[in-house]
Amino acid sequence: MILVFCELKDGQIRKPSAEALSEGRRLADAAGKPLGALFAGASCAGSAEAAKYGADVILTAEGPTLASYSSDAFATVIADAVKAKGATVLLAAATAVGKDMAPRAAARLGAGYASDVTGLSIVDGKLQAIRPVYAGKAFATTTFASAVQVATTRPNVFPAAEKPGAGVAETLAAPVGDFKSVVKEILAKASGKVDLSEANVIVSGGRGMKDGTNFKILEALADAIGGVVGASRAAVDAGWGLPHSMQVGQTGKVVSPTLYIACGISGAIQHIAGMSGSKFIVAINKDSEAPIFKLANYGIVGDLFEVVPELTKAAKAMGIGKN
Amino acid sequence: MKILVALKQVPDTETKIKVAADGRSLDPADVKWITSPYDEYALEEAIRTKESKGAEVVALSVGGDSTKDVLKNALALGADSAVLLRGDGQGDAFAVAQIIAGYAKDKAFDLILCGNKGLGGDNAAMGPMLAELLGIGQANVIVMLELSEGSFKAERETEGGSEIVEGALPAVITAQKGLNEPRYASLKGIMAAKKKTIEELDAVPVTTGTQIIALSLPPERPAGRKLEGDAAAQAQALIQALKDEAKVF
Ligand SMILES: Cc1cc2nc3c(=O)[nH]c(=O)nc-3n(C[C@H](O)[C@H](O)[C@H](O)COP(=O)(O)OP(=O)(O)OC[C@H]3O[C@@H](n4cnc5c(N)ncnc54)[C@H](O)[C@@H]3O)c2cc1C
Ligand SMILES: Cc1cc2nc3c(=O)[nH]c(=O)nc-3n(C[C@H](O)[C@H](O)[C@H](O)COP(=O)(O)OP(=O)(O)OC[C@H]3O[C@@H](n4cnc5c(N)ncnc54)[C@H](O)[C@@H]3O)c2cc1C
């Protein structure tokens, strides 16, 4: 069996999980194996949706011990499910939860683990992964030495494809015990906006923004085209009040949106490392020699303070971002 | 309190990646090596704990001769001792976790600090794997850490927010930027470090979980196009192109 750990939010499968599940379906077909979707939580209401993405079996572990996230309880659920089902491949999305628990579960299973993969295939019955290394400056083709193979899939890379499966429901026991580290409190709830690592459209600002308050013109553009705002390290470190969580690059977030708009960003190697995996790149810079233009599908040489508001206007005029 | 800090030596962020002749590793020619940036936050947190609460700080790295630079630097910054677990340069995060677990298991560390990911390898896996192998708790991508008698409280970065993780010590904590502001080594520290020796041990052979069979560079991006005219015309042309050519909207 190919098993995919899925996360629910407000009773729905999170998009990165749907992507992992769809990729799981593709691999299951290639390997001639069934696909299992695995859920854990105080309640797994909404898990039936996994059938839409091709799950043959939907496994749920429900119980009070799974109400708050704890790496050992979740790793236990997963490792036990892998053993019970004799699964050879375990996937999860490379989210905050996925990246926390998948390596722990892999170690418990004595399994090889490939994180944040952007490509998966079955070669001679074994999983093979392609994963960005050096923050995307290179790609490593990775094979597994172990019988069980664990990988987390990078959000926004694998398409979520609907392909109905039988979705036979099965329940698993929730782990009991004293967990060594537990989430006690969720502090800043995401403001309804998706995280940079999962965003489809990103508008980023660099030192050329001159001040943090000027980021409001990027917010306006992002709102108009359904995007979220990121920043270069120069902007984050400038003391403009931008959090590190906005930083894109080798020591920030590595992102892979469909569209990345770089405003007043020169294109330093560490910044490029974090965003060169974007499908389309737009650069807006007043210096026509800025290295960012080498990557850009579309370049605008000009003053961002003039260009960005015009973009917002044009997008609104054309009715973009209404979906 | 006894603290272990795991430090990895990595290529500098300026490095232009060239693939070696074997087709599966980094060509080390012209590469400048540094301590992985996130590991610097881990070390700084250990030294601050030592200063505020009193602790013994052991810096550890799995690697070869060149890795000693990382450990010398850690000693100069305030680590009490340093251990090099000598390996052959092969192996993945799981192998490293097994090697470090083998070293740490009977040494009664109260806290193990790591980077949240090793720059380059980018697995973000060694910490959680080590925690599992040692049977202790973990908290990853940490921007705030509070230690009490036998327990910890940490703030962990998540998608678009953060959460508080609490747990028992010993535990593995992996550091994120924001945890602290690492110091520079003082001349006094550098001089004192010269007198300290780095303990060298052979890494216990282990199995690796994964293997890199090929390393390749990303495909060249297609040549781009500059949009002409005044700001309004450029903006109009861009939105049109994104809609009609790129089909982004
Ligand atoms: C260890 C290490 C790690 C790093 N990690 C990261 C990382 O993760 N992410 C990251 O981004 N950087 C990182 N850096 C920093 C990186 O080297 C660069 O310093 C940084 O990316 C530069 O940011 P920038 O492009 O915003 O600023 P600059 O390089 O100063 O570029 C500003 C650009 O704005 C343009 N501009 C100015 N005014 C206007 C205007 N009115 N209209 C249009 N254009 C204008 C300029 O022409 C210029 O090209 C790292 C560096 C180190 C040493
Ligand atoms: C026998 C052997 C010899 C090795 N020799 C070398 C070598 O000579 N040079 C080299 O660069 N790598 C060496 N490695 C390390 C190995 O290639 C990588 O560390 C491993 O692939 C994980 O990399 P990562 O950055 O993805 O880890 P991640 O999981 O992203 O790392 C997370 C954190 O774990 C810790 N960590 C990771 N790797 C190490 C390490 N090697 N030592 C101490 N702490 C670490 C750091 O705190 C790091 O921030 C060796 C491994 C083995 C098994």
CA proximity to B98, closest of A151, A78, A100, A107: A107
**Within this chain, do residues A160 and A13 fall inside the same structural domain, yes or no?**
yes
Residue A186 domain-assigned? no
**Within this chain, do residues A151 and A213 fall inside the same structural domain, yes or no?**
no
Residue B43 domain-assigned? yes
Our answer on whether the CB atom of B11 is closer than 6 Å to any ligand 2 atom is no
Query: How far separated are the first and last CA of chain B, in Å rounded?
Result: 56
* For residue A321, pLDDT beyond 80: no
**Within this chain, do residues A131 and A62 fall inside the same structural domain, yes or no?**
yes
* For residue A323, pLDDT beyond 60: no
Does B164 contact A183 at a Cβ distance shorter than 8 Å? yes
Residue type, A110: G
Rounded distance between C-alpha atoms, residue B57 and residue B2, angstroms: 6
**Within this chain, do residues B76 and B174 fall inside the same structural domain, yes or no?**
yes
Which tokens in the block code for residue A306?
A: 């003039």
Tell me which residue in B132, B212, B246 faces A107 most closely, judged by beta carbons: B132
Q: What is the CATH number of the domain that holds A293?
A: 3.40.50.1220
**Within this chain, do residues B16 and B139 fall inside the same structural domain, yes or no?**
yes
Residue A144 domain-assigned? yes
**Within this chain, do residues A102 and A44 fall inside the same structural domain, yes or no?**
yes
User: How many Cα atoms occupy the beta-carbon half-sphere of B237 within 13 Å?
Assistant: 16
By CB atoms closer than 10 A (0-12, 13-18, 19+), residue A264 is buried
**Within this chain, do residues B49 and B92 fall inside the same structural domain, yes or no?**
yes
Read off the pLDDT of residues A147-198 as tens digits, 9 standing for 90 and up.
Answer: 999 999 999 999 999 999 999 999 999 999 888 889 999 886 656 678 899 9
Read off the pLDDT of residues B65-108 as tens digits, 9 standing for 90 and up.
Answer: 999 999 999 999 999 999 999 987 778 999 999 999 999 999 99
CA proximity to B54, closest of B1, B3, B107: B1
Our answer on whether the CB atom of B8 is closer than 6 Å to any ligand 2 atom is yes
Residue B213 domain-assigned? no
* Residues 6+ positions from A186 with CB-CB distance below 8 Å: B158, B161, B163
**Within this chain, do residues A38 and A117 fall inside the same structural domain, yes or no?**
yes
Q: Which atom of ligand 1 is nearest to the CA of A304?
A: 42
Tell me which residue in A104, A138, A180 faces B216 most closely, judged by beta carbons: A138
**Within this chain, do residues A150 and A274 fall inside the same structural domain, yes or no?**
no
Q: Yes or no: say if A203 and A261 are a contact pair by the CB < 8 Å rule.
A: yes
What's the pLDDT score for residue A192? 65
By CB atoms closer than 10 A (0-12, 13-18, 19+), residue B18 is middle
**Within this chain, do residues A45 and A103 fall inside the same structural domain, yes or no?**
yes
**Within this chain, do residues B126 and B224 fall inside the same structural domain, yes or no?**
no
Which tokens in the block code for residue B161?
A: 């927010």
What's the pLDDT score for residue A322? 57
What's the pLDDT score for residue B60? 98
Q: Which atom of ligand 1 is nearest to the CA of A292?
A: 49
Domain count, chain A: 2
**Within this chain, do residues B66 and B122 fall inside the same structural domain, yes or no?**
yes
B170 upstream amide cis, omega within 30 of 0: yes
Read off the pLDDT of residues A242-273 as tens digits, 9 standing for 90 and up.
Answer: 999 999 999 999 999 999 999 999 999 999 99
- State the ligand closest to the CA atom of A306: 1
Q: What is the residue-averaged pLDDT of chain B?
A: 95
**Within this chain, do residues A97 and A226 fall inside the same structural domain, yes or no?**
no
Q: Which run of H or of E encompasses B85?
A: strand B81-86
Strand, coil or helix: A103: helix
CA proximity to B208, closest of B129, B95, B100, B62: B95
**Within this chain, do residues B107 and B152 fall inside the same structural domain, yes or no?**
yes
**Within this chain, do residues B73 and B131 fall inside the same structural domain, yes or no?**
yes
Residue A206 domain-assigned? yes
Which tokens in the block code for residue A309?
A: 């508001």
Residue A191 domain-assigned? no
**Within this chain, do residues B242 and B142 fall inside the same structural domain, yes or no?**
no
Does B131 contact A71 at a Cβ distance shorter than 8 Å? yes
Domain that holds residue A263: 196-317
CA B99 to chain centre: 16
**Within this chain, do residues A144 and A202 fall inside the same structural domain, yes or no?**
no
**Within this chain, do residues B143 and B109 fall inside the same structural domain, yes or no?**
yes
Residues in B closer than 8 angstroms to A116, CB to CB, are 122, 124
**Which of A237, A261, A285 is the pocket-test mutation for ligand 1 (most atoms within 8 Å of CB)?**
A285
What is the phi/psi pair of residue A259, to 5°?
A: -130, 130
Q: What is the CATH number of the domain that holds B182?
A: 3.40.50.620
Does A311 contact B239 at a Cβ distance shorter than 8 Å? yes
Q: Which atom of ligand 1 is nearest to the CA of A235?
A: 26
**Within this chain, do residues A157 and A251 fall inside the same structural domain, yes or no?**
no
- Tokens 């537990």, residue located: A182
ipTM: 0.95
Q: Note the pTM of the prediction, 2 decimals.
A: 0.94
Residue A243 domain-assigned? yes
Q: What is the residue-averaged pLDDT of chain A?
A: 95
Rounded distance between C-alpha atoms, residue A100 and residue B14, angstroms: 28
Ligand 2 center to B70 CA (angstroms): 13
Residue B208 domain-assigned? no
**C-alpha distances in angstroms, A69 versus A72, A184, A186, B18, B45?**
9, 9, 10, 41, 25
Q: What is the CATH number of the domain that holds A152?
A: 3.40.50.620
- Nearest-5° angle of CA A161, CA A166, CA A172? 105
Residue A183 domain-assigned? no
Ligand 1 center to A233 CA (angstroms): 7
* For residue A317, pLDDT beyond 70: yes
Closest CA of chain A from B37, distance in Å: 8
Which tokens in the block code for residue B185?
A: 């080594």
Residue A189 domain-assigned? no
Residue B214 domain-assigned? no
Which tokens in the block code for residue B233?
A: 């015309």
**Which of B4, B8, B26 is the pocket-test mutation for ligand 2 (most atoms within 8 Å of CB)?**
B8
Residue B108 per-residue DSSP state = -
**Within this chain, do residues A62 and A129 fall inside the same structural domain, yes or no?**
yes
The residues with which A16 forms a beta bridge, in sequence order, are: none
**Within this chain, do residues A104 and A159 fall inside the same structural domain, yes or no?**
yes
Residue A133 domain-assigned? yes
Tell me which residue in A142, A195, A225 faces B211 most closely, judged by beta carbons: A142
Tell me which residue in B120, B162, B213 faces A134 most closely, judged by beta carbons: B120
Does A115 contact B125 at a Cβ distance shorter than 8 Å? yes
Residue B210 domain-assigned? no
Domain that holds residue B244: 219-249
**Within this chain, do residues B161 and B226 fall inside the same structural domain, yes or no?**
no
Domain count, chain B: 2
The mean pLDDT of A135-141, rounded to a whole number, is: 93
Q: Give the other-Cβ count within 10 Å of A129's Cβ.
A: 25
B169: confidence class by pLDDT, cuts 50, 70, 90 = very high
Pocket of ligand 1, beta carbon within 6 A: A 206-208, 232-235, 247-252, 264-266, 268, 270-271, 274, 284-287, 290, 303-305; B 13, 37
**Within this chain, do residues B75 and B142 fall inside the same structural domain, yes or no?**
yes
* For residue A280, pLDDT beyond 60: yes
Ligand 1 center to A208 CA (angstroms): 8
Q: Catalogue the long-range contacts made by B30-36 (C-beta closer than 8 Å, 24 or more residues apart).
A: B33/B9, B33/B66, B33/B69, B33/B70, B34/B9, B34/B10, B35/B7, B35/B8, B35/B9, B35/B10, B35/B70, B35/B73, B35/B74, B36/B7, B36/B8, B36/B9, B36/B10, B36/B115, B36/B117, B36/B118, B36/B119, B36/B120
Q: Which atom of ligand 2 is nearest to the CA of B98?
A: 53
**Within this chain, do residues B189 and B228 fall inside the same structural domain, yes or no?**
no
Tell me which residue in B136, B208, B217 faces A138 most closely, judged by beta carbons: B217
The mean pLDDT of B151-169, rounded to a whole number, is: 94
Does A112 contact B94 at a Cβ distance shorter than 8 Å? yes
